[in-house]
Structure 1
Amino acid sequence: MSAAQPPALMAATADALRDRLIGPLNVYYLHGTEHLQQTLLAPDLIDLVTPRPLFLSHSDRAAIAQSHSTNWIEFVPAMLHQAGRLLTEHIDPECFFVTVSPMDRHGYFSLGTNADYGASVIRKARKVIVEVNRYMPRTFGECSVHISEIDHIVEHDQPLVEAIPKAPTEVDRKIAQQIIERIDDGDTLQIGVGGVPNAVLSGLKQHKDLGLHSELFSPAMVPLIQAGILNGRRKTWMQHKHIFTFALGDRALYEFLDDNPAIVGYPASWVNNPDIIRLNDNMVSVNSALEIDLTGQINSEQIGDRPFSGTGGQLDFVRGAYAARNGRSFIALRSTAQSGSVSRIVPRLLSGAVTDPRNDVQFVVTEYGCVNLKGLSIPQRAKALIQLACPEFREQLEREATSLGWI
């Protein structure tokens, strides 16, 4: 997944396919990188590789565009906390590729940035091939893999892929401010990816004793840890430890992770398990969405008929955070898309992709306000969500909600 996808192994496999040294492959993964796009997802391999991602990235979408085939990449719906089980019990992989850090004196490699499903699959795949890369940080938790568990080793040093976060826009900051006002000292956080989550993190500099239990470890978290704001002191579960399942960012982030005993990676089956998430009192989850309908259903993964990303761990944390004592779950989205021409608040989801059922959604935030949907009837929800829409679309939404019998 992501930064742990091994570029040399993928390139060698692509060449072997071209030379007909190996037969067609089914390739399962999450969040493809540019290296995957340039190797196993190259257009000339379309008849030899069937990609089956559990979550799509920008590189995956670019590969689809290059292939001129909308159905080449076969998306597999999955929640992140079930990925390890899905890839071992239902798919039964014959071979697993992953990047690891150099071996220590005890014979252990580290999965570094990516415990996610790697920590589960590496012990179930029939054959394991690792790419040892000195740029992969050594991390703690359940990230260690002994040499006896590995079939083959390739050594290849190459800087890890980087994801440089974009600076938040003014709209991002407006949305983030409403979430920041609802985060208290001592809360434990899960923060997703995007402009709003980054703006939330950058706005927490006056808070105290925050904790971290998050699927993603991102660059915006580093300054808060260095300043002692994110310290885990008041966590009720894994106190003083910053919990993650995968990390993605810049080189400075990877260097910060290296040999840092306070930051521990565990499989997504544990980190993203709602029953584990709820063990932290005052758990706060912040994630983004593509659209929401007037009953509260969230779509975070599909645009029209096209898969855009995936469920990932969003629903895991929506449920886990709300289940925690004094827990809060936020779904943040801009009110419009396509330069203001399309409303992200819609009467009904037409894509067919429901990331978060309306029963699970708690706080919804746009630049026009914040509403807690828990306990609201369908008419109350429709009226509240229309007020979160861009003013240009509110009258039309009211008409459509009326025609549907909701108000």
Structure 2
Amino acid sequence: MNSMQSMYLQKRTSAAEAVKLVRNGDFVIVPTGVGEPPSLLTALSEQRMDFRDVKVAQILAMRKYAYLDPETTEHIRHVAFFYGGATRAGGQAGWVDFIPNYFSEIPAQIEREQIAADVVFSMASPMDAEGNFALSLGADYTMAAVAKARAVVLEVNPNVPYALGNCHVHISQVTALVEDESPVLEVGLPKIGPVQAAIGKHVADLIEDGSTLQIGYGGIPDAVVMQLTHKRDLGIHTEMIGDGILTLVESGAVNCRRKNYLPGKMVATFALGSQRLYRFMERNPLLEMHPVNFTNDPALAGLNDKLVAINATLQIDLLGQCGSESLGLAPISGTGGQS
């Protein structure tokens, strides 16, 4: 047994024991979307009455864990960087908190301690021979939090791909780890209706061969993507990689060879898709996962000629200004990666 394996075994524990690393008043950072660790967050929910004034912060919560409870917010309270289906109702009712932000600036806010990062809970791939785990489902702001946190707790799952890029955490940085073999949550392509299809066709006609794409989540971006399969030499420098982008790779539309910056490489900061996508990500030299302050830096993305950003919004005024955060006084989502 080598030293890496020995460290692994020393740090392996149960989810119920691992959550005891959380202290009253802690700020727990969780990755975007399916990077959230279900075993750890379930255990934290089950023990929530043992804590006081703990915050769980995340861009896009996917599951409604038991701690998302208006009756127990003095014990554990959710802090949203971006509302989704699991947190929107709580935000509108006032028992889920919200921190307005630009997704790309969260790592810097963590580094400057403007956003606390006492503990990190994250899904991770199995450890490689050098002692590294990949936070491939959500490098986002989590890598910055790992560097700051008092405790880093990983939920190691063989179904999490080991991706390349700046998304690796070494066993020496890990305080505790738990193991789980549940399938990674799948998020399929949204249903596309006739309105989305019409918008998608109009936008697709504006995209030239050789363009580099930034693609957001939602029916409109995916409606565009589905009509780009006949394009050629497209590149990807994006926030999210999903099944829509995978479709473009499989059709031959995406090869990244005409990108000026990181030619031959797709870059993204989080993944949201099917098991097929997660298998595609496994040690794929075409793809690198990086923190969001890299993928969403307009100066870096803009090094690519013909950069096209495709995102959905809720409202737009006659001056072309977009609003994605709310409808009237009701919070809906957040600024996210659009800025």
TM-score bucket (shorter structure): 0.7 to 0.9
Q: Distance in 2 between matches of 1:55 and 1:86?
A: 16
Q: Which residue of 2 aligns with 1:23?
A: 52
Q: Deviations over 1:127-175 (max 9, x none)?
A: 1111111111110000111100111111122112221222311111111
Partner SS for 2:97: coil
Q: Which residue of 2 aligns with 1:284?
A: 308
Q: Within 5 A, what are the aligned runs for 1:391-406? A: none
Q: Within 5 A, what are the aligned runs for 1:60-99? A: 60-63=87-90, 70-89=93-112, 90-99=114-123
Q: Distance in 2 between matches of 1:70 and 1:205?
A: 43
Q: Within 5 A, what are the aligned runs for 1:167-246? A: 167-246=191-270
Q: Which residue of 2 aligns with 1:267?
A: 291
Q: Tell me by how many angstroms 1:272 deviates.
A: 0.4
Q: Which residue of 1 aligns with 2:330?
A: 306
**TM-score, normalising length: structure 1:** 0.73
Q: Which residue of 1 aligns with 2:82?
A: 55
**2:142 aligned to which of 118, 127, 133:** 118
Residue pair 1:88, 1:125 contacting (<8 A) in 2 also: no
Moved over 3 A (4+): none
Aligned residue type for 1:56: Y
**TM-score, normalising length: structure 2:** 0.87
Q: Which residue of 1 aligns with 2:36?
A: 5
Q: Which residue of 2 aligns with 1:373?
A: none
Q: Tell me by how many angstroms 1:62 deviates.
A: 4.6
Q: Tell me by how many angstroms 1:306 deviates.
A: 1.8
Structure 1 unaligned runs (5+)?
Answer: 316-407
**1:166 aligned to which of 148, 167, 190:** 190
Q: Distance in 1 between matches of 2:129 and 2:86?
A: 37
Q: Distance in 1 between matches of 2:184 and 2:170?
A: 22
Aligned-residue CA RMSD (Å):
1.4
Q: Distance in 1 between matches of 2:58 and 2:95?
A: 15
Structure ranking higher on relative contact order (CA contacts 8 Å, 6+ apart): 2
Partner SS for 1:58: coil
Identity of counterpart residues, as a percentage?
34
Aligned residue type for 1:289: T
Q: Tell me by how many angstroms 1:76 deviates.
A: 0.7
**2:179 aligned to which of 150, 155, 158:** 155
